[in-house]
Amino acid sequence: MLTAEEALDRLKNGNERFVNGQTKHLTLLTHQQRAELADSQEPFAIVLGCSDSRVPAEMVFDQGLGDLFVIRVAGNIVAPSQVGSVEFAADSFGCPVVVVLGHTHCGAIHSTIEALMNPTSPPSANLMSIVNRVRPSVEILMQTELKDDLEKLSVHAVRSNVFASVNQLRHGSAVLENLIAQGKLKVVGAEYSLETGEVTFYDF
């Protein structure tokens, strides 16, 4: 069983391969390996990431089938179903680390900024449920000078939103709090750059 630090190193090394065009896992999968994974799985890390089609966690971290337990939702938000999914993976598979993975130019962030700036033209009720999860991370920034520079506001909001999700996972579940207290689980934040492919980790 890997420690949280070892799991993070594995992710960082995989991302370095991805950035440098030296990926290996996608070409190593065999029919035998796929069959072996049919009955069980042993992912070494949990990734709560955004649904954006440009940020597939397995590719970004150059990991193979069965390596990551990935939860994807627009805006990498934390709602009860996401918490339950993290609880399941942490408890069932002993994953030592959860990475909340945000990314540059996030559509959910942009939608939230637009909704706050144009309250008379709200998005659909379903999209609004996502916006409302992101809203606190953006509202606090719009009370600063960032409100006058939408590009900088978006950049800071991505990180603020990642921090909010990390905080919710750390303190919004008795199951996860207990695992963290026992030193069995670590929750960290990270940001993927669409421009470079690089993942920057934040241990808030």
Cite the annotated binding site for Zn(2+) by residue number. Answer: 50, 52, 103, 106
Quick one: DSSP state of residue 78? -
Contact assessment for residue 34 and residue 55, using Cβ atoms and an 8 Å cutoff: no
Identify the three-state secondary structure at position 99.
Answer: strand
The binding site consists of 50, 52, 103, 106
C-alpha separations of 37 from 29, 34, 161, 166 in Å: 11, 5, 34, 30
C-alpha separations of 148 from 96, 113, 137 in Å: 41, 12, 17
Q: State both tokens at 38.
A: 């049919």
Measure the CA–CA gap between 99 and 201, rounded to whole angstroms: 9
Q: Alpha helix locations (H) across the chain?
A: 4-19, 31-36, 57-60, 80-93, 107-117, 125-139, 150-171, 174-181
Within 10 Å of residue 6's Cβ, how many Cβ atoms?
A: 13
